[in-house]
Amino acid sequence: MAAVLLDINDLYCERDDRVLFEHLSFKLKQGQILQLVGKNGSGKTSLLRILCGLYSSYEGSVSFLGEEITASRDAYNSALLYIGHNVSVKNGLTARENLTWYAKIQPQLDEKLIDQALAKVGLKTYEEVICQNLSAGQKRRVNLARLFMLDETSFDKTLWILDEPFTAIDGEGVHNLEQQMSHYVANGGTVLITTHQELQMKENLQQLNLDEWGT
Amino acid sequence: MIRIFWAELSKDLLLAYRRKGDLLNPLLFFVMVVALFPLGVSPAADFLSQLAPGVLWVSALLAALLSLDNLFKADFEDGTLEQLLLSPESTYVIALAKAVAHWLTTGLPLALLAPLLAVMLFLPSHAIPTLVVTLLLGTPTLSLVGAIAAALTVGLKKGGVLISLLVIPLYIPVLIFGASAVQNATQNLPVQAYLAILGAMLALSIVLAPFAIAASLRVSVSS
């Protein structure tokens, strides 16, 4: 029986007098890929930000391994890898400097895997280029390189929350990411993702449509 | 904990070094106010030496204030601030590192530049060490307290005006004790009491301000 990583219970959130979702309850189990779908503005990003503990204007409870995320922030943050819809890369630093900084502030990322991660996202020859001079897609790849920096032994203890990770990424890049995602999930990882693209892998994939929960 | 402090501090310093224009901005402001003051009021030496402590302190304070708006703005806009808050390490240490980086790039250069400008304003030379010491004790407090306001307003479109309104009342005690110490030094009066109070304010803000900065950042990101 797979462990329940995230337990979302009776969640309610409104924004600008519009109810995004109410009575929303679901569980995210280890080894699962849960794809959030819904129209633009249906609250996918808001929900992901709530689940990361970044957005607190909600009612209901979100618990990680049985404990409220607000109470177990340290444990939760060291299990979480969040790719937001922002680029989350410092323009003034090189790709390598960005990832080195990430490895320090988020110790679940392994600094020794930076080379490998840069190669995997196709930025090996760009590692010393200031990110300002990279294209939009390449900047997103620098951020996505974090997904390749988790040590394999920690896959089953961690969780990815990905907000539109494929934006501005080319076909080959998307394919690579999906492969890494399958590899991650096959080894015990858990993924919560929003994307408008159809995911190639169907194994362990479930969908949750937010349009059914709001008004 | 120390590792993350260094990581954040060195990242901010590297970024500041790569954007030297922003680094020079407060210094240039400081130099210009002090250089234009005699032209606008009076170049008489005895008059200037009387006003020097106040002018130097006020312009240093405004120069520090000028740079506050950008303290968290870039991090907020590119999303790295979110990622910092998702670090399992303590946000207190991160907030402290950011304030220290701000001081190293504004307050410290201002304090080091001040003796040169003090000579321009005919501040008696025996008061110059006191000027530098008060600035070294006072500007970190300005950075720490200012960072609270910067963190609170980072999510707002026009936060700049609000920062000044929030922060000026809190800067006034630092200004009063800083400028009075230098004033006393010009008249060869004891200054230890003033320095002790500036030091106490610094100690208090090192301990308490990072909590407030961290909490304010969480509020700003969560909107």
Q: Is pLDDT larger for residue A74 or for residue B157?
A: A74
Nearest residue of chain B to residue A93 (CA atoms): B15
Distance from C-alpha of B43 to C-alpha of B58, rounded to nearest angstrom:
19
Is the whole model's pTM more than 0.90, yes or no? Answer: yes
Distance from C-alpha of B98 to C-alpha of B150, rounded to nearest angstrom:
11
With an 8 Å Cβ cutoff, are A54 and B85 in contact? yes
**Banded model confidence at residue A210, pLDDT cuts 50, 70, 90:** confident
Nearest alpha-carbon partner for B171 in B93, B63, B92, B98: B63
Q: How many CB pairs under 8 A join A and B?
A: 78
User: Scanning the structure block, which residue is given the tokens 């949750």?
Assistant: A208
A27 within 8 A of A7, measured Cβ to Cβ: yes
Taking contacts as CB-CB distances below 8 angstroms, the residues of chain B near A102 are 83
Distance from C-alpha of A130 to C-alpha of B80, rounded to nearest angstrom:
16
pLDDT surpassing 90 at residue A199: no
Residues of chain B whose pLDDT is less than 50? Answer: none
The DSSP 8-state label assigned to residue A125 in this structure reads G
With an 8 Å Cβ cutoff, are A88 and B78 in contact? yes
- CA of A11 vs chain B CAs: smallest distance (Å): 17
List the single residue in A55, A82, A101 with the smallest CB-CB distance to B11.
Answer: A101
With an 8 Å Cβ cutoff, are B86 and A107 in contact? no
The string of pLDDT tens digits covering residues A75-125 is: 999 999 999 988 999 999 999 999 999 999 999 999 999 999 999 999 999
Distance from C-alpha of B147 to C-alpha of B150, rounded to nearest angstrom:
5
pLDDT surpassing 80 at residue A203: no
Q: What is the pLDDT of residue A215?
A: 63
Chain centroid to CA A94: how far? 22
The string of pLDDT tens digits covering residues A24-38 is: 999 999 999 999 998
Q: How many H helices and E strands in chain B?
A: 10, 0
pLDDT surpassing 70 at residue A1: no
Residues with Cβ within 8 Å of residue A153, at least 6 apart in sequence: none
Distance from C-alpha of A58 to C-alpha of B167, rounded to nearest angstrom:
31
- CA of B95 vs chain A CAs: smallest distance (Å): 13
pLDDT surpassing 80 at residue A214: no
- DSSP 3-state of A213: coil
A185 within 8 A of A29, measured Cβ to Cβ: no
- Helix H, strand E, coil C: the string for B89-143 is CCHHHHHHHHHHHHHHHHHHHHHHHHHHHHHHCCCCHHHHHHHHHHHHHHHHHHH
What count of other Cβ atoms lies within 10 Å of the Cβ of residue B118? Answer: 23
pLDDT surpassing 70 at residue A147: yes
Which of B72, B86, B94, B220 would best serve as a mutation to test chain A binding (most A beta carbons within 10 A)?
A: B86
Instruction: Report ipTM (2 d.p.).
Output: 0.91
User: Scanning the structure block, which residue is given the tokens 């590119």?
Assistant: B78
Q: What is the pLDDT of residue B222?
A: 86
Nearest residue of chain B to residue A75 (CA atoms): B88
Q: Is pLDDT larger for residue B144 or for residue A39?
A: B144
Q: What is the pLDDT of residue B223?
A: 76
Distance from C-alpha of B7 to C-alpha of A196, rounded to nearest angstrom:
36
Taking contacts as CB-CB distances below 8 angstroms, the residues of chain A near B222 are 49, 54-57
Distance from C-alpha of B104 to C-alpha of B117, rounded to nearest angstrom:
19
**Banded model confidence at residue A202, pLDDT cuts 50, 70, 90:** confident
Nearest residue of chain B to residue A130 (CA atoms): B18
Task: Give chain A's contact residues with B (Cβ, < 8 Å).
Answer: 49, 52-57, 73-75, 77-78, 80, 82, 84-93, 97, 101-102, 104-108, 130
Angle between helices B128-153 and B45-66 (to 10 degrees): 30
With an 8 Å Cβ cutoff, are A104 and B78 in contact? no
